[in-house]
Amino acid sequence: MAEDGYTRIDNPMEIETLLETLSEPGGASLQFGEQGEPMPVLLAGLEAGEALELDISAVSEIAGELRGGKAFRLLGQAHGKLVRTPEMTMEHCRQDDGRLLCRCAYPHRLEVLQRRDTFRARLRLGMEVSAVLRDAEGNRAQGDLKDLSLEGCRLELPLSATNLLAEAPLPLDIALCFPDGTHFQARGRARHRRADTERQTLTAGFQFEGHGPEQERRLWYFVREIEQEAARHIEGGEATRPPSPLFQGPAGAEPKVGRRGAQGYATPMTRRLAHVAGYLDTQLLELREGGEIDGVQLSRHADRLLRLHEEDREGLLFACDALYGESWLVGHGLGVAVRLLDLVGRDSVPQELRKALVASAMVHDLGKALLPDDVWRSAMPDDGGSPELHEHVALLEARMGGCQWLSTAVFTSVVRRISERLDGSGYPAGVTGEVLGELERAAAVVDAVDTLRRPLGERPAWRVGAIYRYLLGREQAFDSRWVKRYIRRFGLYPIGTLVRFDGGQLAWVQGLDDDGRPSRVQLAGGVESSGEGLHTVLGDKALEGEVLKGEVTRRLGEPREEVRVAKVATEAADIPN
């Protein structure tokens, strides 16, 4: 048996029977190399034991490569099996009555693989394929491909796609776009769907309709490439296995479509941060399905976050608050990572330790995804939580086997001890201040502030001033030196907050002066009052007002109060075709 699961066939009669099946219209494809996409050809002539004649008129542009001796295989399906020849070369090509015919030697063996119609190739962490769903009236939704088979696919869509699936005449048009630019279109009927209100997603399974030989050939190619690319990630064999060309997009390119690519974001930096959020969201789902933290992907996205901070720290701090539509654990992981880096990860800290700090903070709470929601959604930062809550630290650590590059000291401070308290009331070990170093003391403050700034369960988000008073009043648990350092660093009105000034104007804080006072703000647009002190922010419409620099108090007066907000996602206006 070959390495990729094919079985060798040497029997001459069986070979001839299989080749005759491939000679039917639409039965054969030609492929260059292991990674090439199959191209339609016609097996026009068969001389048993002597030669094959191929009609390549449909792909005449490859004649030059064939004449030059480039090796190829023939592929096809016969009797429920996938069939391929060994690599061959053309002997000569000729024109005949408008057709381009090429002759090659007869294969004296074939390789077959039992076709698995129902096998679903699942995309793994780091593999992104965008999907666009359209109905007959032009309504559409953009999402991400999660798995693919010869019979159908599973897509993850924004929750707003519920209306499209409920109201559109079925079947729907499905377009898949791979990172290298390859497109595939089919029609499919939704068979099942499941909503996740926390993540604001809808997962839907589709069954393809209108199968033809060409569609099946392309689908099998995609299924095989997804499966092989996934094997690289599962086995950690990225350095040894050749990558699939389907997943080789432009270096450093951000996704243009997909669930996040279709959303409108307040700033370009927020859109870039959403790509890191997408990684964390997928990693969270991998954990729930029994997987581990992917050390390679964690490393890549920690580097990405460091670069964003180096490019524009204020823009990144604002993006942490402007990001919406993500689950609580994803937003919290990013918020802690960025602010802890900004608080303690200064230029004097070596790059490898800054990277370990960011990586550890990004994933520090993902173990909670393995617990029942009611266990962790009601916990306050200083109540110690239940014994069941404490388990999330060990649950995460057991899934970190592929992250040996992480500094053990940093991981201990940011993951194992971020919930420890000076008086021993924290968890999981209940250690006291004599044991806790500076990094874990700082991390505990950053974690507590970010936790309280985000609504969780039935608890609404707290205003920053109330959080500061809360922590300063609990110096037995939180190091007051680090609480005060946090306040000095991020101010009473941190970057990203919505503030009402003396003149009554609402504005977003985008920059602070050396005294922690707003020095750059943008007048608020896309904000609606609920009449109960809570304002709704409409996604990318939030930043439509004038930007004021250095003249904030002269124009607007002194800042009066922070305004509580709820964020609502909007769809981008420039959804690509």
Residue of 324, 315, 356, 318 whose CA lies nearest to 337? 356
Six token digits for residue 247: 């997943």
Q: For the purposes of burial, counting CB atoms within 10 Å of the CB of 554, is it exposed (0-12), middle (13-18) or buried (19 or more)?
A: exposed
What pLDDT does residue 240 have? Answer: 58
Q: Place 23 in a pLDDT band, splitting at 50, 70 and 90.
A: confident
Distance, CA of 99 to CA of 536 (rounded, Å):
65
What pLDDT does residue 125 have? Answer: 85
Q: Please write the tens of the pLDDT for every residue from 86-123.
A: 999 999 999 998 899 999 999 999 998 866 656 788 89
What pLDDT does residue 575 have? Answer: 33
CB count within 10 Å of CB 255 equals: 19
- The distance of Cα 537 from the centroid of its chain, to the nearest Å, equals 24
What pLDDT does residue 457 have? Answer: 84
Residue 251: pLDDT above 60? no
User: In Å, how far are 377, 382, 449, 456 from 386, measured between CA atoms?
Assistant: 11, 12, 21, 17
Q: How many CA atoms lie within 13 A of 453 on its CB side?
A: 26
Q: Place 24 in a pLDDT band, splitting at 50, 70 and 90.
A: confident
Does the bond joining 245 to the residue before it have cis omega, within 30 degrees of 0? Answer: no
- The distance of Cα 247 from the centroid of its chain, to the nearest Å, equals 14
The residue whose two tokens read 């303690």 is 344
Contact 283, 293 (CB under 8 A): yes
Q: In 3-state terms, what secondary structure has residue 540?
A: helix
Give the pLDDT mean for 502-514.
91
Q: In 3-state terms, what secondary structure has residue 417?
A: coil
Decide the pairing of beta strands 183-196 and 121-122: unpaired
- End-to-end distance of the chain based on CA atoms, in angstroms? 44
What pLDDT does residue 450 have? Answer: 97
Q: How many CA atoms lie within 13 A of 51 on its CB side?
A: 12
Q: In 3-state terms, what secondary structure has residue 311?
A: helix
Q: Place 57 in a pLDDT band, splitting at 50, 70 and 90.
A: very high
The larger pLDDT score, comparing residue 245 to residue 339, is at 339
Q: Which helix (H) or strand (E) holds 189?
A: strand 183-196
Residue 359: pLDDT above 90? yes
What pLDDT does residue 543 have? Answer: 67
Q: What is the set of domains in the chain, with CATH numbers?
A: 7-114 (2.30.110.10), 121-247 (2.40.10.220), 263-490 (1.10.3210.10), 498-571 (no CATH)
What pLDDT does residue 342 have? Answer: 96
Q: Please write the tens of the pLDDT for every residue from 321-337.
A: 989 889 999 999 999 99
What pLDDT does residue 397 have? Answer: 95
DSSP 8-state code for residue 413: I
What pLDDT does residue 577 have? Answer: 34
3-state secondary structure 54-77: EECHHHHHHHHHHHCCCCEEEEEE
* Residue 461 identity (one-letter amino acid): A
Contact 284, 366 (CB under 8 A): yes
Give the pLDDT mean for 426-435.
94
* Residue 278 identity (one-letter amino acid): G
Give the pLDDT mean for 530-544.
59
What pLDDT does residue 574 have? Answer: 37
The larger pLDDT score, comparing residue 480 to residue 49, is at 480
Q: How many CA atoms lie within 13 A of 565 on its CB side?
A: 28
Residue 573: pLDDT above 50? no
What crossing angle do the helices spanning 351-363 and 438-453 adopt, rounded to 10°?
Answer: 40
What pLDDT does residue 259 have? Answer: 77
Contact 258, 143 (CB under 8 A): yes
Contact 119, 223 (CB under 8 A): yes
Residue 525: pLDDT above 80? no
Q: In 3-state terms, what secondary structure has residue 542?
A: helix
Q: Please write the tens of the pLDDT for every residue from 450-507.
A: 999 999 988 899 999 999 999 999 999 999 999 999 999 999 999 999 999 998 889 9
- The distance of Cα 205 from the centroid of its chain, to the nearest Å, equals 19
- The distance of Cα 23 from the centroid of its chain, to the nearest Å, equals 42
Q: Please write the tens of the pLDDT for every residue from 368-408.
A: 999 998 889 887 887 777 899 999 999 999 999 989 999 99
Decide the pairing of beta strands 90-96 and 152-158: unpaired
What pLDDT does residue 10 have? Answer: 92
- The distance of Cα 97 from the centroid of its chain, to the nearest Å, equals 52
Most confident of 108-122, 192-206, 293-307, 561-575: 293-307
What pLDDT does residue 436 have? Answer: 96
Q: Give me the percent of the chain exceeding a pLDDT of 70.
A: 89
Q: In 3-state terms, what secondary structure has residue 342?
A: helix
User: In Å, how far are 131, 158, 203, 458 from 196, measured between CA atoms?
Assistant: 19, 10, 8, 18
Residue 159: pLDDT above 70? yes
What pLDDT does residue 233 have? Answer: 65
What pLDDT does residue 1 have? Answer: 46
SS3 content of the chain, % helix, strand, coil (to 5): 35, 25, 40
Q: Place 27 in a pLDDT band, splitting at 50, 70 and 90.
A: confident
Among 31-35, 82-86, 500-504, name the one with the lowest average pLDDT: 31-35
569 CB contacts (<8 Å, ≥6 apart)? Answer: 158, 200, 263, 264, 324, 325, 539
Decide the pairing of beta strands 130-134 and 172-177: antiparallel
What pLDDT does residue 423 have? Answer: 95
Residue 177 bridge partners (DSSP): 130, 183
In the chain, what is the greatest distance between 2 CA atoms, to the nearest angstrom? 92
Residue 572: pLDDT above 80? no
Distance, CA of 253 to CA of 135 (rounded, Å):
29
Residue 576: pLDDT above 50? no
Q: What is the mean pLDDT of the chain?
A: 87
Q: Give me the percent of the chain exceeding a pLDDT of 90.
A: 57
What pLDDT does residue 565 have? Answer: 77
Sheet strands (E) in 66-159? 73-78, 81-84, 90-96, 99-105, 110-114, 121-122, 130-134, 140-148, 152-158
